[in-house]
């Protein structure tokens, strides 16, 4: 108890002394995580952060009614890192997020990836002194998958691929043998944005940020194939070849994040939309039909220092990659450790 009171008194004195300088006024506008503020008691400098998590599940059945005989295995890794530089009105934030999960089911022999994403993003923000809730930003991001993507069928089938020129080619899909759809690091999306950033209000457990401006997307697909399977043709799998493209247009982004119950529960919502005013490929879609948007919602419950339950919902609309809405749900019991 005495040690806690001593640390609290020292921290209070440091913050009070810092409040006499004009730099303290900037601290409330720079989104430095609370744990970094407590660790360093600094108002500017470099703030690294790196967390590593693992998950694993196992199930085996034999002779159970209604359940295929065999073993189900799933294991994955999550890496989340960041580097923040803060100095007065300047903020430079770089984040890296990697999620990968491999799963094996009784009906399919090979392991297949059930989650695979690598996201690297860097954002520079300049915040005005007056008004303090307004600023400028420029950002760049790389979003891709790490490993090859495959289709595995229980029985032999035939792939019918629509090529870029409209012609159709075919190939055999051998039972229980991976059929390649995408290469590693494909599709690879490069995104750039610039514009204004607004912080309507910031409370201790809650943060909101709105960005508006212009943006561009470059997609590199490396001859990837997407499924367009027709359920009426069981022995034929329809596919379509993808192609590279470039888009530029108007962007709007929203980010809401916070912590509750003494940092036991954390949540984040990131949503962004880009309306292309230019697109090198249209596939006969209108400007509105080419709208790209990405919504990511995460919530985590920290059971103790190294164990947490995390849920992530992802909604992605990229019409030139996949006309249908891409939806991912992940509920993970994660063993994690903070490296930095």
Dump the DSSP string for 23-81.
HHHHHTTS---HHHHHHH--SSEEEEEEEEEEEEEEEEESS-TTS-SEEEEEEEEEEEE
Distance separating alpha carbons of residues 217 and 199, to the nearest angstrom: 25
pLDDT at 248: 98
pLDDT at 168: 95
Per-residue pLDDT of the chain (340 residues), as tens digits, is: 434 434 434 444 333 343 333 332 333 333 344 444 434 444 689 999 998 888 888 888 898 887 788 999 999 999 999 999 999 999 999 999 999 999 999 999 999 999 999 999 999 999 999 998 999 999 999 999 999 999 999 999 999 999 999 999 999 999 999 999 999 999 999 999 999 999 987 677 788 999 999 999 999 999 999 998 777 777 899 999 999 999 999 999 999 999 998 889 999 999 999 999 999 999 999 999 999 999 999 999 999 888 889 899 999 999 999 999 999 988 888 887 777 7
Dihedral, CA atoms, 276, 280, 283, 288, nearest 10 degrees? 10
pLDDT at 75: 92
Peptide bond into 131 cis (omega under 30): yes
Residue 107 neighbours by CB under 8 Å, 6+ apart = 68, 70, 154
Element counts in the chain: helices (H) and strands (E) = 3, 19
From the candidate CATH numbers 1.20.1340, 2.60.40, 2.40.230, 1.10.3470, the one assigned to the domain spanning 2-149+185-218+246-338:
2.40.230
Here the tokens at position 230 are: 């027709």
pLDDT at 294: 97
pLDDT at 169: 96
Distance separating alpha carbons of residues 295 and 270, to the nearest angstrom: 6
pLDDT at 47: 94
**Strand bridging mode 134-144 / 112-127:** antiparallel
Distance separating alpha carbons of residues 321 and 292, to the nearest angstrom: 10
Residue 12: which H helix or E strand, with range?
helix 2-18
CA distances from 133 to 143, 208, 253 (A): 29, 11, 16
pLDDT at 175: 95
pLDDT at 24: 28
**Burial group, residue 20, by CB count within 10 angstroms (0-12, 13-18, 19+):** exposed
**Strand bridging mode 157-162 / 236-241:** parallel
């Amino acid at each position: 108890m005495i040690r806690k009171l001593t640390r609290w008194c020292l921290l209070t004195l440091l913050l009070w002394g810092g409040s006499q300088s004009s730099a303290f006024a900037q601290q409330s506008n720079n989104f430095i995580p609370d744990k970094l503020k407590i660790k360093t008691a600094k108002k500017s400098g470099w703030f690294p952060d790196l967390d590593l998590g693992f998950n694993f599940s196992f199930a085996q059945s034999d002779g159970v009614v209604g359940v295929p005989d065999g073993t189900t295995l799933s294991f994955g890794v999550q890496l989340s890192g960041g580097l923040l530089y803060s100095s007065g009105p300047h903020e430079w934030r770089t984040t890296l997020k990697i999620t990968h999960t491999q799963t094996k089911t009784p009906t399919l022999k090979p392991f297949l990836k059930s989650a695979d994403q690598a996201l690297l993003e860097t954002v520079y923000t300049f915040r005005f002194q007056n008004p303090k809730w307004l600023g400028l930003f420029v950002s760049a991001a790389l979003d891709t998958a790490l490993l090859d993507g495959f289709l595995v069928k229980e029985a032999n089938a035939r792939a019918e691929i629509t090529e870029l020129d409209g012609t159709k080619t075919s190939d055999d899909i051998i039972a229980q043998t991976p059929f390649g759809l995408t290469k590693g690091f494909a599709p690879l999306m490069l995104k750039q944005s610039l514009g204004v950033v607004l912080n309507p209000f910031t409370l201790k457990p809650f943060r909101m940020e709105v960005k508006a401006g212009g943006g561009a997307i470059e997609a590199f697909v490396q001859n990837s194939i997407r499924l367009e399977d027709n359920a009426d043709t069981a022995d034929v799998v329809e596919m379509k070849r993808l192609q590279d493209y470039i888009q530029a247009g108007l962007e709007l982004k929203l980010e809401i994040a916070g912590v509750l119950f003494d940092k036991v529960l954390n949540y984040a919502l990131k949503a962004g939309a880009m309306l292309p005013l230019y697109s090198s490929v249209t596939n006969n879609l209108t400007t509105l039909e080419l709208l790209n948007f990405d919504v990511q919602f995460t919530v985590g419950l920290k059971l103790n220092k190294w164990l947490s339950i995390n849920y992530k919902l992802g909604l992605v609309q990229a019409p030139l990659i996949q006309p249908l809405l891409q939806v991912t749900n992940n509920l993970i019991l994660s063993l994690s450790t903070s490296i930095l």
